[in-house]
């Protein structure tokens, strides 16, 4: 049952959980369309943070860098361990009888077809990241793995995903792709799936509001409507705002670099701020249009353009190598997964801390946004259907994407000796790779458009989600509230760019991802309790 409509409607709901058949009764009163405490604390804190960051730009840069490095250096094991827990839970739910439970009840049917469903969850999940890192990460890992570790005074000064590939071009290629797939396939989507499945279960099957606090009803009981629940929702708003701001900053950096590459427009902080303002305006218009008219349509356009770019690279790049590489890379991923995912393993610190720990914190900070968004479009699916789709479909597409773009770039360097691709800055490597294929101008333009539209779909769907959380689970809150959150996503991204650039964006994603990882571990326990209480 969705959150109640109207200003004073009261709902009584029986909630049965566990083997003891304990019935909980709640009374939930909506007097406003916003949840006063969650909205007020979240909004005022974010406004204050934005103003302070803009006022003290030069002094905050080292603070942000130190915060990011400290958290990833000391808690890398925790992030990796949490990611493993989420993935193992998803796999267990797929094979257990609990997978037959249908979200929304036995008679529920899906609101969206498979194509629209896949488009929306994938575009919202990690679109900007795939554009930014699709070439740069595989190429970077290859360079390090092939060259082997560099030791100075007994200390390693570079990183490699795994030892053993120095001087072995093919081995380094497979190690690089395995490490890249590890960061973009099953683990991040398992994090999203746990949040999304929990929200969908407690909203559509238990009749609780579509907000993070509802997941904890089995653990906290009526206290979820008090301060414990307020804190959970406030943390969810913070995590979503800063996780999105990281992505928006990365997207603006790459779009600005693409415009410089294509049109000679010098990339600068001012240009990136201007891009954020323009794209935030487009996202705001999409938010006003709503889920079906705005977000759904943009997501489908985005997936169409991404598919065209992917097919172009496959056809005009090393086609046979990409085709065979897809399966070889999957095999390498499976082979190296135990070592890559071991939180106490021997892979070097810089790989675990500089890459994996940051990625996991980033995915966790995105999980309230992506999870709630996926939950809103997944009513009517069974748990098994939901998990198989959310885990496997985006993961396989990510593998194909990385194999095509990253594999093409590696081939250009190794086979053709094109060092310009390897030597380019991270944000420009995609365009350098496309420069050595036909129709460079057109494909580079498509790449820029994709970055911008991924930017928009992340911002507009994120604004809808934050608005739902701050409105106490109400999915149709007034338009001005959506506009407020869409605007402040852009302002926070601008403030962080001015206050420390990419390091500041990464620092805030990690710092909000850490406490929310603890929240998600509790949510995993509550999810199992809620599923066990469902009639089967």
Beta bridge partners of 137: none
Closest CA to 328 of 132, 522, 112, 178: 178
Cα–Cα dist 298/294, whole Å = 6
Q: Give the count of alpha carbons within 13 A of 295, CB side only.
A: 25
Which of 324-328, 399-403, 488-492, 496-500 is the least confident region?
496-500
Closest CA to 514 of 59, 67, 215: 67
- Check whether domain 10-344+354-532 has CATH 1.10.3470, yes or no: no
CB-based contact 531:93 (threshold 8 Å) = yes
Residue 386 pLDDT more than 90?
Answer: yes
Beta bridge partners of 286: none
Alpha-carbon Rg of the chain, whole angstroms?
23
**pLDDT tens-digit readout, 178-196:** 999 999 999 999 999 999 9
- Confidence band of 88 (pLDDT split at 50, 70, 90): very high
Residue 61 pLDDT more than 80?
Answer: no
**pLDDT tens-digit readout, 19-35:** 333 233 333 333 345 66
- Confidence band of 140 (pLDDT split at 50, 70, 90): confident
CB atoms within 10 A of CB 300: 17
| DSSP-derived 3-state class of residue 95 | helix
Could you give phi then psi for residue 41, rounded to 5 degrees? -65, -45
Better-predicted residue by pLDDT, 159 or 76: 76
* pLDDT-above-70 percentage for the chain: 83
Specify burial of residue 115 (Cβ count, 10 A radius: 0-12, 13-18, 19+).
exposed
CB-based contact 83:190 (threshold 8 Å) = yes
CB-based contact 515:235 (threshold 8 Å) = yes
**pLDDT tens-digit readout, 239-255:** 888 888 877 777 888 88
- pLDDT value, residue 265: 79
Q: What per-residue string of b and e applies to 85-114 under the rule 16 or more CB within 10 Å gives b?
A: bbbebbeebbeeebbebbbbeeeeebbbee
- pLDDT value, residue 90: 97
**pLDDT tens-digit readout, 476-496:** 667 777 788 888 888 888 887
- Entry pTM: 0.85
Which of 120-134, 411-425, 504-518 is the least confident region?
120-134
Cα–Cα dist 124/455, whole Å = 9
Cα–Cα dist 19/11, whole Å = 25
- pLDDT value, residue 502: 65
- Confidence band of 145 (pLDDT split at 50, 70, 90): confident
Which of 10-14, 198-202, 387-391 is the least confident region?
10-14
Closest CA to 462 of 433, 486, 491: 486
- pLDDT value, residue 197: 96
Beta bridge partners of 27: 12
CB-based contact 332:178 (threshold 8 Å) = yes
Cβ contacts of 92 within 8 Å, gap of 6 or more? none
Residue 79 pLDDT more than 90?
Answer: yes
Q: Is the dihedral of CA 125, 131, 137, 139 positive or negative?
A: positive
């Amino acid at each position: 049952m969705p959150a109640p409509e109207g200003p004073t409607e009261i709902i009584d709901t029986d909630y049965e959980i566990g083997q003891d058949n304990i019935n909980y009764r709640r009374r939930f009163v909506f007097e406003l369309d916003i949840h006063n405490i969650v909205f007020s604390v979240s909004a005022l804190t974010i406004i204050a943070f934005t103003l302070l960051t803009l006022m003290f730009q030069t002094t905050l840069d080292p603070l942000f860098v130190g915060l990011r490095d400290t958290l990833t250096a000391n808690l890398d094991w925790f992030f990796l361990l949490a990611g493993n827990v989420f993935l193992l839970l998803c796999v267990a739910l797929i094979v257990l009888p609990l997978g037959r439970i249908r979200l929304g009840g036995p008679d529920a049917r899906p609101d969206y077809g498979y194509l629209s469903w896949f488009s929306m969850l994938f575009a919202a999940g990690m679109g900007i990241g795939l554009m930014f890192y699709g070439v740069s990460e595989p190429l970077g890992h290859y360079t390090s793995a092939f060259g082997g570790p560099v030791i100075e005074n007994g200390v390693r000064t570079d990183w490699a995903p795994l030892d053993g590939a120095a001087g072995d071009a093919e081995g380094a290629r497979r190690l690089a792709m395995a490490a890249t797939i590890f960061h973009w396939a099953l683990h991040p989507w398992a994090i999203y799936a746990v949040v999304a499945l929990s929200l969908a279960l407690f909203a559509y099957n238990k009749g609780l509001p579509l907000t993070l606090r509802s997941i904890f009803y089995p653990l906290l009981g009526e206290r979820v409507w008090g301060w414990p629940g307020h804190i959970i929702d406030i943390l969810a708003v913070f995590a979503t705002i800063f996780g999105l701001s990281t992505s928006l900053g990365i997207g603006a950096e790459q779009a600005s670099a693409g415009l410089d590459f294509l049109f000679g427009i010098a990339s600068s902080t001012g240009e990136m701020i201007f891009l954020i303002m323009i794209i935030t305006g487009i996202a705001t218009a999409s938010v006003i249009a709503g889920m079906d008219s705005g977000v759904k349509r943009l997501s489908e356009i985005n997936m169409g353009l991404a598919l065209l770019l992917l097919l172009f690279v496959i056809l005009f790049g090393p086609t046979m190598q990409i085709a065979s590489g897809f399966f070889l890379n999957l095999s390498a991923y499976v082979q190296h997964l135990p070592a890559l995912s071991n939180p106490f393993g021997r892979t070097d610190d810089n790989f675990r801390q500089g890459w994996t720990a940051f990625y996991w914190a980033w995915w966790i900070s995105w999980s309230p946004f992506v999870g709630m968004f996926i939950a809103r479009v997944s009513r009517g699916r069974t748990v098994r259907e939901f998990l198989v789709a959310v885990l496997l479909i985006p993961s396989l597409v990510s593998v194909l994407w990385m194999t095509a773009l990253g594999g093409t770039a590696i081939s250009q360097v190794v086979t053709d000796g094109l060092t310009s691709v390897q030597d380019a800055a991270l944000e420009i490597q995609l365009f350098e790779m496309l420069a050595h294929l036909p129709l460079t101008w057109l494909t580079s333009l498509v790449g820029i458009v994709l970055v911008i539209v991924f930017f928009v779909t992340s911002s507009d769907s994120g604004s809808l989600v934050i608005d739902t959380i701050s409105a106490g689970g109400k999915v149709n809150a007034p338009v001005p509230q959506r506009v407020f959150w869409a605007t402040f996503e852009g302002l926070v991204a601008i403030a962080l760019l001015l206050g420390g650039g990419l390091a500041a964006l990464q620092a805030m994603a990690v710092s909000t991802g850490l406490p929310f990882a603890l929240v998600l571990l509790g949510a995993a326990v509550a999810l199992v309790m809620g599923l066990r209480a469902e009639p089967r």
